[in-house]
A and B are shown apart, each in its own frame.
Chain A
Amino acid sequence: MRYVMRENDDPARRYATHVRGSRSGQQLVWESSPGQDVLVVQTPYERDAVDDIQEIVAGMEGMALPVDCYVEVPVKPGTWVRYVPSTSYARNDGCPLRTKACTYTVFCCQVEGDTCVVYSQQMTNTGNLPYRRIRLEVDVQVRKLTRTVGPFWNRREEDTGYYQITLPKDRMNDVCDGDVYYTVAGAKDIEIPLTRAMFKQGYVYVQTFDMPVVATRNDGLQINQ
């Protein structure tokens, strides 16, 4: 498939804007002209795709049309695209989010033969934005694991050499592998990612006598410890 950029020369009839999260918080919704297909672009939280769309479209060259699925743009790690036909949008009452703690931008587009034409966004002063930043809060607990040793008259707590990190299971689908990571004193130069599988399980163990520090590099993600 070829991808080309065009100026939107008829914004009154061809538009997609006012992007927001759905009431359930799991869908992305927007306002668009009737029958308008849309290209959804997911980017890191701090950056929308309005200014970068030309580069993103160029990077999509040769990709199959990502109809109703998110595909990462090969030359732009962390940038995902999804082609949403107007019929899919209507059927699903929106477009599923891939993850949270990121920014979604929409662009009008249409397929002409083997070419997908993507139209540039023109920012208006109506207050309706073609992108939406979606924040995420994650509650994390880090607990030293101890065991009780000694006779009943002299019971005492002893380190097991393990810490347990507890993660919210309901955030499994909202995070990307690596959005949240931890470091330990013994290996400070390595950031060990927390994965969706760990969120699904709800906890992991880390073998260390020093407390792991959970952190993120994603500005859209807030960790509550």
Chain B
Amino acid sequence: MDNELSFQSLIDYFERRTAHVERVASNYRHGDAPQYPPFFVFLGADAMRGFEGIARNVLDLWPQYADSFRFVGADCEGDGLRYWSLGMDDAGASRAEVITERELANEFASLFARDDVFEKMTLAHLYFVLDTSSIKAEAIDEFDALVAAIPHLMDVLQLDESMARCSLTVLLNSDFARRVVAKQLRSRIADMSEHMRDWKCNSIFLLSNHRNDGVMLPSWDECYRIASLYIALSDCSDNTIVNQLFDDRVLTASYAIVRKPTRAIGQISLDLLLLGLNDYSGSANADLLQVADIEHRLGVTGEGTLSVIDDDAGQLIRMIVPSAAQLRYFPQREFFDYSDLSRYTYDSFDEACMGALSAYLEQKQRYQLMVDGTQQSAWARSYGALLRKNFSIDELIYLGDHLERVREVLEDSRRREIIPSVIEGASSKLRMALSQNPQVIDLFVRQVNAEAQRARGFRKIWHDLLDSLRSVRKVREEDSLIEYYSQRARTFLRAEGRRLGSEFATQATVEELRAFLNHVIDALIDSDSVFAAPFEAELMMRLNAVNDGADTFGWIYSNLTGNNLRTYLQVYFALDDPISKGVFIEDGTELGRRLRQTLPGGTYFYNTGNNRWAEAINLYAIDAGNINQ
């Protein structure tokens, strides 16, 4: 686990938790399944590095195929190819190991080992992915070498057109510094598009990080998602669409997604939560050690003993103190009658028995109430817990800076009056003897110091975390988001703030604070159903809360259509109408039903089985002239 605790890492956790809760709420429903067995091949080191991005997205659509899908890599080694088996371990980390050509063939063959996994086994779909990020202008042939792996692999797997369809997804890195090489590559792809069969390829899916609205994407994450949707559409149950997408053409896509702005929600809520919790780190009163209840907060009882010791040793002390029946046998200076102890105070009884009671208690204290190492550790732990409960972080630091005055407060308890009745007095005397023990006072003062040290460490961690708030850009969402979730976070703080605040002050290390804040996030998500609501319901609740009668559907519709779909390639002539349109949404939802009614015919509705978001993808064929610019 990352040792750093930052605002960003908390938002990540919030996002993961809400996704998890949403998945649980959706009862892990499955959506549409792939029709033909897909085989994923990543060409070159850059593509292999991105394997995880594609794999996660593909498995997000088809989680039930985690054990069935096969991901392999191929890169150039000398004049030949080297093959890799790619996968993820249980912890989610990606792994790659070199395999032989034969092993690669076995990986492919394993897709056909069972007849109950895929609907149709007559054809395989081979999806090649190539990332151009590292291809240099002076070594442009590297692109050709990687693409040449496609026919080579088809030979290795002994596949022909009747047995497999091939698609090559090219992630065209068009960074400003790579414009020349991107242009060269576009030219190569344009050439390829005219002789696609020579490359044994049925389509090239071209995505660039330079969108048509001018945005230069900082990572391939969105393109991985789009590539996955393209893969899903090209393996859907509508043969017309499948055939269109393997029709010897170069394709590109425009894409839009409408989802719950989870990160922004997390940011707004956690910002408020952290600042709310910060109030409980408290500021130390300059006269903290003079305040009226300081003795109580430092664990000194009204009687002047130390509450931690009273609690721990109370039972033993009760067993040690003589009962009224036993006290009758104590010695007498003269002929007294001890049958009515109410006539005596502790002192008068001790005087009447010539110090036998105090001597008895002293013996017990010496030999039965000895403070050993184990007991010291237990008391130190209990006292530490009491200090953390009773003092804020800043107050603990203040106490640490004034240890001698803390000692005075603890020692000052020695001057209290002992409760006068005989048995209570005896019990009190034993408790006082323990609390007066210089070793115990030292132990407690040391514990105050230890807690102060812990608090100093914690304050640094906490301030670093608060500092990291500034490094996150302000949410630029519409006002409704800020207003709505600020209100939710405030409500949560009003209900739980005090409890969490007292727990908050007991955290010592990064790990403890991380666990505590994760717990706070869990509690926040549980506090209001809106946090785990499907995106459509969340949007409806939010918009209605701030604007009664808001048109939720209209908002979603407009965001999934028209100009809100961005094209992931810079083209210079307008693209023709899309050859295929897909909407990825859960079947059976109100939103799905209305979209089906409203969107033009020919749109393919792909059932994702999850209602966490809706996506729209339009696929365009690009002619060679429009590629080669």
Contact = CB atoms under 8 A, between A and B. Distances in A.
A74 B329 contact: no
Interface in B333-363: 333-338, 354-356, 359-360, 362-363
Contact of A177 (B326, B333, B337, B359): B359
Interface of B: 322, 325-326, 328-338, 354-356, 359-360, 362-363, 366-367, 370, 437-439
Interface in A154-210: 162, 165, 177-178, 184, 186-187, 190-198, 201, 204-208
B366 A206 contact: no
A137 B604 CA distance: 110
A58 to B, nearest CB: 13
B329 A192 contact: yes
A186 B330 CA distance: 11
A75 interface: yes
Given A177-B355, A187-B325, A204 B362 contact: no
Nearest to A176: B359
A1 to B, nearest CB: 14
Q: Which of B329, B335, B338 has the most CB atoms of chain A within a 10 A radius of its CB?
A: B329
Nearest to A205: B332
Contacts of A77: 366-367, 370
B329 A206 contact: yes
Interface in A45-83: 62, 74-75, 77-78
Contact of A184 (B329, B354, B360, B370): B329
A197 B337 CA distance: 20
Contacts of B355: 177, 195-197
A165 to B, nearest CB: 7
B326 A193 contact: no
Contacts of A78: 366
B185 to A, nearest CB: 79
A82 B362 CA distance: 21
B359 A195 contact: yes
A204 B366 CA distance: 25
Contacts of B328: 186, 207
Given A178-B359, A190-B322, A207-B329, 19 more contacts: A74-B439, A75-B439, A77-B370, A162-B335, A187-B325, A190-B326, A192-B360, A194-B331, A195-B354, A197-B355, A198-B354, A201-B333, A204-B331, A204-B354, A205-B331, A205-B334, A206-B329, A206-B331, A207-B338
A165 B359 CA distance: 18
Nearest to A178: B363
Contacts of A196: 355
B356 A205 contact: no
A205 B330 CA distance: 9
B344 to A, nearest CB: 14
B326 A187 contact: yes
B291 to A, nearest CB: 30
Top-5 shortest CB links A-B: A204-B331, A177-B359, A77-B366, A197-B354, A193-B359
Nearest to A59: B439
Contact of A193 (B335, B360, B439): B360
Contacts, number: 75
A193 B363 contact: yes
A184 B326 CA distance: 10
Q: Which of B354, B366, B367 has the most CB atoms of chain A within a 10 A radius of its CB?
A: B354
18 contacts: A74-B437, A77-B367, A77-B370, A78-B366, A162-B335, A187-B325, A187-B329, A190-B326, A190-B360, A193-B359, A193-B360, A195-B355, A197-B355, A198-B331, A201-B333, A205-B332, A206-B331, A207-B328
B356 A208 contact: no
B119 to A, nearest CB: 80
Contacts of B439: 74-75
B444 to A, nearest CB: 15
Contacts of A204: 331-333, 354
B363 A207 contact: no
A192 B362 contact: no
Given A74-B439, A77-B366, A195 B332 contact: no
A162 B437 CA distance: 39
Nearest to A204: B331
B362 A186 contact: no
B354 A207 contact: no
A191 B334 CA distance: 21
Contacts of A177: 355, 359, 362-363
A7 B336 CA distance: 58
A186 B324 CA distance: 12
Given A162-B335, A198-B354, A208 B329 contact: yes
B322 A194 contact: no
Contacts of B329: 184, 186-187, 190, 192, 206-208, 212
Nearest to A75: B439
B428 to A, nearest CB: 19
A23 B370 CA distance: 38
A123 to B, nearest CB: 30
Contacts of B356: 192-195, 198
A74 B331 contact: no
Q: Which of B336, B338, B360 has the most CB atoms of chain A within a 10 A radius of its CB?
A: B360
A156 B69 CA distance: 111
A208 B325 CA distance: 12
A168 B336 CA distance: 23
A186 B338 CA distance: 14
B438 A192 contact: no
Contacts of A187: 325-326, 329
A101 to B, nearest CB: 15
A78 to B, nearest CB: 7
Contacts of A208: 329
Contacts of B331: 165, 192, 194, 198, 204-206
Contacts of B337: 207
A192 B330 contact: yes
Contacts of A193: 356, 359-360, 363
Given A77-B367, A193-B363, A201-B354, A207 B332 contact: yes
A103 B562 CA distance: 102
Q: Which of A78, A186, A198 has the most CB atoms of chain B within a 10 A radius of its CB?
A: A198
Contacts of A194: 331, 356
Contacts of B322: 190
A187 B328 CA distance: 9
Nearest to B372: A75
Contacts of A162: 335
B114 to A, nearest CB: 74
A207 B331 CA distance: 8
A141 to B, nearest CB: 14
